[in-house]
Amino acid sequence: MFKNILLATDFSDHSIVARKAAVSMAQGLGKKLTVLHIYDLRQRLLDEGVLMASEVVEAAEKKRVRKEAHENMLRFCSPLTGLEINYDFQIREGRAAEEIVETATEIKADLVVIGSHSRRGFVDVSLGGVARKVGEDAPCPVLIVTNYKEPVEPEAQEKPASTPPGES
């Protein structure tokens, strides 16, 4: 049924559980999995206390964040190696929910898979802006995967250097 699956990741344990769901659906002939990470450079700078960055500082930080995101993406996708899955990945800059919806539209995804940080499920307001907004605006069905206390894979114990929100 789903042949073109988009998996949105922030490299968290929740994303690892979502990856398991996406992989199980993406296995088989003619199916494709696109793994997407979005980072918001301006928000990252604000989080670090930088209110107005010079162009030089912003360019250097963007280069650093993209490199870090690329390394994290390679680590996140490494369990896919050797599986019979046709996959690629994208790292984009912007607001996570908007970029996920835009990417789903661009690649003509027929399913978006995203991990939820909520402990109480979809109805809970604390589902967070990203999963809720993607669920509302995506051009296709959205599978929101919660971390239901499943033991985390051993490789997940090795946390990425950081968990920046999104990138292309």
Total number of domains in the chain: 1
Tell me, yes or no, whether 90 lies in a domain. yes
Tell me, yes or no, whether 164 lies in a domain. no
Give, for 87, the enclosing helix (H) or strand (E).
strand 86-93
Tell me, yes or no, whether 20 lies in a domain. yes
Output 126 or 118, whichever has higher pLDDT: 118
CB 40 within 8 A of CB 12: no
The residue among 19, 73, 136, 103 whose CA lies nearest residue 127 is 136
* Amino acid 42: pLDDT: 76
Reported as a single tens digit per residue, the pLDDT across 83-103 is 888 999 999 999 999 999 999
* Per-residue tokens: 66: 């993209």
* Per-residue tokens: 118: 């909520």
Beta-ladder partners of 38: 92
* Amino acid 74: pLDDT: 96
CB 53 within 8 A of CB 30: no
Whether the predicted pLDDT of 125 surpasses 70? no
Tell me, yes or no, whether 86 lies in a domain. yes
Going by the DSSP 8-state scheme, the letter that residue 94 receives in this structure is: S
Reported as a single tens digit per residue, the pLDDT across 38-53 is 988 877 766 767 666 6
Tell me, yes or no, whether 157 lies in a domain. no
**Category of 125 on φ-ψ map: left (φ > 0), alpha (ψ -120 to 50) or beta:** alpha
- What is the full DSSP assignment across 27-50? -STT-EEEEEEEE-HHHHHHHTT-
Range of the domain at 40: 4-140
The pLDDT-based confidence of 62 (bands split at 50, 70, 90) is: confident
- What is the full DSSP assignment across 126-168? GG-HHHHHHHHH-SS-EEEEE--SPPPPGGGGS--S---S-B-
Tell me, yes or no, whether 147 lies in a domain. no
Q: Give the predicted TM-score (pTM) of the model.
A: 0.79
